[in-house]
A and B are shown apart, each in its own frame.
Chain A
Amino acid sequence: MEALQQLLNTRTDIWRGRVQPPTPTVSTGQSALDQRLPGHGWPCGQLIELQPIHVGCGELSITWPLLARQTQRGQPVMLISPPLIPCPQAWAQAGIDLTRLWIVRTQSHSLWTAEHALQSGLCGVVMVWSNSTRLTTTHLRRLQLACEYGHAPCFLIDSDVNRPVTTFSALRLTIAPGPTVTLTHTRRAQPLKSNTLKLTPRTLSAS
């Protein structure tokens, strides 16, 4: 029975009445963060919204371990319209295989590109910056649907204060310098308890 349960848990496409199968997750690479997230990791094949207060206040330090793992496994990682230039020396030092890192330099077609990259199901991770695009609920829903084609988590990074309140994403995290991560939305019914986590550089390196 145990084995059957485990087997069923790996499938999201079998209806099991009221029992909600847990979304498969991948470890963030940081145990402190893993413990706070539902499912103890980044949900696979789901949209994750990251909302840094300023550009570069920690959105990379929480995603780098995953990017490094995926590129080392030979999975391509796509950065779509990053706001600044990724410094190759620093990314390589973080363990990211630069031969698997694709940067898409586009301003107007970033969401289109993300949707296609996700639908192909070939990317290890997709990170998309909305930049000046004003996000709507439709955008979020389309990206979430595209995510479900593959197993890659998709990180949507926006600093827009006027973002829609309703969301279709699996997680929404606000990031303040530090980085201090606040979980502001999950799909779980129970209220979020102690949802703010300060990740000091020590917790990051200890993992």
Chain B
Amino acid sequence: MSWLGLYFCSSQDHEQWPQTQQWIARVAYEYSDQLTWLDQVTLVVEIQKSQKLYATPETLLTHLTETLRPLRQQYRLGTAPNPMAAGLMARLGTRCDNQASLMNVLDHCPIDLTPLPDQAQKSLYRCGIDTLGAFNALPIDQRVRRFGQAINLHIQKLYGQQPTLIEPWHPQDQYYRRIDLIDPITSKQRLQHYLDKACEELKSWLIKRNQALTAVMIRCKYERPGSANQSDLTFELTLAKPSFDQQHLKALITLKIDQLTIERPINGIVIQCESTSQHTPSSNDLFDRNQQQGDWPQLLDHLKARLGERAMTGISPYPHHQPEHAWRWRQPDQVNDLDDAKHRPSWLLPEPVACHRDQLVLKQGPERIETGWWDNNPCQRDYWIAQEPNGRTLWVFHEHKPRMGWFIHGIFG
């Protein structure tokens, strides 16, 4: 076993640190699934298994350093045969690839450099023990009696004399990424650039979690919060079919951004997503004739991104006794099947429009509709199929209640 420790030395007390921790852990997760935060600033990663991928440990370290570069954090690296010691070696910036060299370093390590609590360090100093080696030279029963089991166990773990149980870190179930911009952005091109980069990261997160994307929420924060009528620039993309197609997502984002106006400089972007594991990875089967069907959701996404979520719809019959309420906008897959043999026009007007009776030739009717008497909302109408002077066939009604008069309600197209 070989462990790599990372010790982040710049001050970590700001509120962003938990998210940065998540980001760092996600990067490290590419190298190993055995990793954990020993404390707030020390991450240890098991690298033995992934060393086969890289010719030498140096290649792995260079690679990791490159990936962590955009973070602009100061950190030190250390290696050791066990996770506890790897944490300490990272603090010291020392690399021990085998047990012998670790023993050597630990024996000379001053007590005040260890992550032991201050109280423990003081009690060790008071007894003249200033290095780990001096402590380890004491007989084991004395160590426990004089300094307590906790300190003894900690130091034994450092030496690898006791196994360290670690609880491996796992990527979070919800993707949440916040980008703080030092230089506020005002142009759509730069916003696009940041979102494209975020897409790449999102894709790697999805693949690692074996998830497919269903929706992305993007919130762009304007500078100077707290001022009046302040609202963030937010938009949402919903995918008709779960996917992790990065190109498709980028195209949708471009369409969305085209519609936006950036009113004030943006200094922060928050990206959240909904994802699902219920998906079937695409198979590019040469003989699959239904390949085109798979593109239909993509076309819908594309149109919805430009026109808005509600612009793409289907229409469904709805059981209601008043014809103007007997339909609903609904997605085509949720359309009701309603068996209604009544003769209806092909087009309905959004609202019945008043008309003159004398210009119409009544052809067929009447169909009486009398409803609402039970809830004091009476409606009494006689529907007719009528012809206009220009030859067009209309669906008209003569209303008795609540209004009096003739109205056009539809057209037989």
Chain A, residues 88-106, CB within 8 Å of chain B (1/0): the string is: 1111111000111111111
Q: Are B315 and A101 in contact (CB under 8 A)?
A: yes
How far is A84 from B413 in the complex, measured between Cα atoms in Å? 11
Q: Are B292 and A122 in contact (CB under 8 A)?
A: yes
How far is A77 from B405 in the complex, measured between Cα atoms in Å? 38
Q: Are B316 and A103 in contact (CB under 8 A)?
A: no
Residues on B lying within 8 angstroms of A by beta carbon are 292-293, 295-296, 299, 302-303, 306-307, 310-317, 326-327, 329, 332-333, 335, 338, 340-350, 388, 390-393, 410-413
Q: Are A88 and B316 in contact (CB under 8 A)?
A: yes
CB distance from A54 to the nearest CB of B (A): 6
How far is A79 from B75 in the complex, measured between Cα atoms in Å? 60
CB distance from B21 to the nearest CB of A (A): 43
Q: Are B299 and A117 in contact (CB under 8 A)?
A: yes
Q: Are A86 and B412 in contact (CB under 8 A)?
A: no
Question: Contacting B411 at CB < 8 Å: which of A55, A88, A92, A120?
Answer: A55
How far is A103 from B296 in the complex, measured between Cα atoms in Å? 15
6 CB contacts below 8 A, A to B, read A55-B411, A56-B346, A89-B317, A90-B343, A93-B344, A104-B312
How far is A60 from B345 in the complex, measured between Cα atoms in Å? 11
Q: Are A84 and B327 in contact (CB under 8 A)?
A: no
Q: Are A99 and B335 in contact (CB under 8 A)?
A: yes
Contacts of B340 in A (CB 8 A): 89, 93
Given A103-B315, A106-B311, A87 contacting B344 (CB threshold 8 A): yes
Closest to B388 in A: A177
How far is A66 from B411 in the complex, measured between Cα atoms in Å? 20
How far is A122 from B67 in the complex, measured between Cα atoms in Å? 42
Q: Are B350 and A84 in contact (CB under 8 A)?
A: yes
How far is A86 from B333 in the complex, measured between Cα atoms in Å? 17
Given A60-B413, A109-B307, A98 contacting B346 (CB threshold 8 A): no
Instruction: Specify the main secondary structure of chain A where it touches its partner.
Output: mixed
CB distance from A116 to the nearest CB of B (A): 6
Q: Are B310 and A105 in contact (CB under 8 A)?
A: yes
Given A60-B346, A116-B299, A120-B295, A88 contacting B327 (CB threshold 8 A): yes
How far is A91 from B344 in the complex, measured between Cα atoms in Å? 9
Closest to B389 in A: A177
How far is A121 from B348 in the complex, measured between Cα atoms in Å? 30
Q: Are B311 and A121 in contact (CB under 8 A)?
A: no
CB distance from B252 to the nearest CB of A (A): 13
A85 at the B interface (CB under 8 A): yes
Closest to B334 in A: A99
A178 at the B interface (CB under 8 A): yes
Q: Are B390 and A177 in contact (CB under 8 A)?
A: yes
CB distance from B150 to the nearest CB of A (A): 67
CB distance from A103 to the nearest CB of B (A): 5
How far is A99 from B337 in the complex, measured between Cα atoms in Å? 9
Contacts of A178 in B (CB 8 A): 391
Chain A, residues 161-193, CB within 8 Å of chain B (1/0): the string is: 000000000000000111000000000000000
A41 at the B interface (CB under 8 A): no
Contacts of B392 in A (CB 8 A): 54, 56-57, 177
Q: Are A84 and B312 in contact (CB under 8 A)?
A: no
How far is A92 from B344 in the complex, measured between Cα atoms in Å? 10
Interface centre among B292, B317, B333, B349 (most CB of A within 10 A): B317
Of all A-B residue pairs in the complex, the 5 with the closest CB atoms, nearest first, are A177-B391, A56-B411, A56-B413, A60-B413, A84-B347
Closest to A123 in B: B299
How far is A104 from B312 in the complex, measured between Cα atoms in Å? 5
CB distance from B309 to the nearest CB of A (A): 11
Contacts of B350 in A (CB 8 A): 84-85
Q: Are A84 and B411 in contact (CB under 8 A)?
A: yes
Question: Contacting A98 at CB < 8 Å: which of B314, B343, B348?
Answer: B314
Q: Are A84 and B348 in contact (CB under 8 A)?
A: yes
Q: Are B333 and A99 in contact (CB under 8 A)?
A: yes
CB distance from B85 to the nearest CB of A (A): 59
A76 at the B interface (CB under 8 A): yes
